[in-house]
């Protein structure tokens, strides 16, 4: 027979009882430490402004030079010493007017030598012609062989060719002598003299700058940041500060630098309704977006 005995419960120790009393006393305070609810502010209307990029017009100006639209650099076609200049800067010249002349002493000698050579060639051709005529008569009479007739004919052809060559040399020498006189190509104004009397000039070396025609244009230089602002055909304003003039021009052409060290592009602007005057300086202005 089994017997289950239950042991009586023992009371809590004293120090444990004080711990529970302490926790029960602080429980209401711990429950009150929760964060208070946050009150949301009501939405308020706000005025908004849409900012867009505005198109601003910026005026750019560059200096330029007013020149004749048809500037011509004239020069001698032969080399020589400049004997005389018959015009000065600013003179008005007519077509065919003599502008300058070279010392033509050497050219006269060359022409005389060519004339003498032509005279000798003509004499030789005449002699060869007579010999061929004599050989032909003898051949018809049966006195000479056909070989001698052919030789006389060949001499005639050679003499004729030499005569033609001497004639061409004389014509060339005469042309060279004519080239020693420089004439105006049209109605122009002498804009600049590039040499003085007594100087030795090479063939083709510019001697004078002539402003021909009535049209005017402005020449300037564009920097790289301006290339996308202008194009041929665009309208620009040309101001002449010294004369208090403001003209309308049109871009004629935009060139390219010929030198790799050059950082500007040549610009030419044509002017409308303005005759040729002595207006050397001006300024270009245009508006860009």
Give pLDDT, residue 122.
92
Give pLDDT, residue 226.
79
Give pLDDT, residue 63.
84
Give pLDDT, residue 77.
93
Residue-wise pLDDT tens digits, 220-269: 888 877 777 788 888 888 887 776 778 888 888 888 776 667 778 888 88
Q: What are phi and psi of 159, to 5 degrees?
A: -65, -40
Give pLDDT, residue 26.
55
Give pLDDT, residue 111.
94
CB 183 within 8 A of CB 99: yes
Give pLDDT, residue 24.
57
Q: CB pairs under 8 A, 24+ apart, for 116-123? A: 117/166, 117/169, 117/170, 118/163, 118/166, 118/167, 118/169, 118/170, 120/166, 121/159, 121/162, 121/163, 121/165, 121/166, 121/167, 122/163, 122/166
Task: Label each residue of 172-184 as H, E or C.
Answer: HHHHHHHCCEEEC
* Residues linked to residue 100 through DSSP beta bridges, in sequence order: 85, 182
Give pLDDT, residue 232.
86
CB 180 within 8 A of CB 78: yes
What distance in Å separates the CA atoms of residue 125 and residue 190, rounded to the nearest whole number?
50
Give pLDDT, residue 4.
37
pTM of the model: 0.57
The CA-based dihedral angle spanning residues 211, 217, 218, 224, taken in that order and rounded to the nearest 10 degrees: -120
What distance in Å separates the CA atoms of residue 192 and residue 19, rounded to the nearest whole number?
119
- Collect the ranges in the chain with pLDDT lower than 70: 1-44, 46-58, 214, 243, 258-260, 272-289
Residue-wise pLDDT tens digits, 44-54: 676 666 655 55
């Amino acid at each position: 027979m089994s017997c289950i005995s239950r042991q009586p419960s023992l009371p809590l120790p004293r120090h444990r009882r004080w711990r529970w009393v302490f926790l029960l006393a602080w429980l209401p305070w711990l429950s009150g430490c929760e964060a208070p609810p946050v009150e949301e502010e009501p939405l308020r209307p706000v005025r908004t402004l849409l900012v867009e990029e505005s198109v601003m017009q910026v005026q750019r100006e560059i200096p330029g030079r007013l020149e004749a639209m048809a500037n011509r650099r004239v020069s001698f076609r032969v080399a020589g010493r400049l004997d005389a200049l018959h015009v000065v800067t600013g003179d008005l010249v007519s077509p065919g007017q003599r502008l300058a002349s070279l010392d033509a002493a050497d050219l006269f000698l060359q022409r005389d030598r060519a004339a003498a050579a032509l005279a000798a060639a003509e004499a030789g051709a005449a002699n060869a012609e007579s010999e061929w005529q004599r050989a032909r008569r003898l051949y018809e009479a049966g006195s000479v062989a056909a070989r001698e007739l052919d030789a006389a004919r060949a001499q005639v052809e050679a003499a004729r060719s030499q005569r033609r060559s001497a004639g061409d040399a004389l014509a060339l020498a005469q042309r060279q002598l004519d080239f020693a006189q420089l004439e105006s190509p049209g109605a122009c104004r002498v804009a600049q003299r590039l040499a003085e009397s007594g100087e030795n000039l090479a063939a083709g070396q510019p001697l004078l700058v002539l402003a021909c025609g009535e049209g005017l244009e402005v020449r300037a230089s564009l920097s790289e940041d301006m290339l996308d602002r202008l194009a041929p055909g665009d309208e620009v304003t040309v101001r002449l500060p010294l004369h208090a003039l403001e003209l309308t021009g049109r871009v004629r052409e935009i060139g390219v630098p010929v030198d790799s060290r050059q950082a500007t592009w040549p610009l030419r602007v044509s002017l409308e309704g303005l005759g040729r005057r002595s207006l050397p300086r001006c300024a270009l202005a245009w508006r860009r977006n």
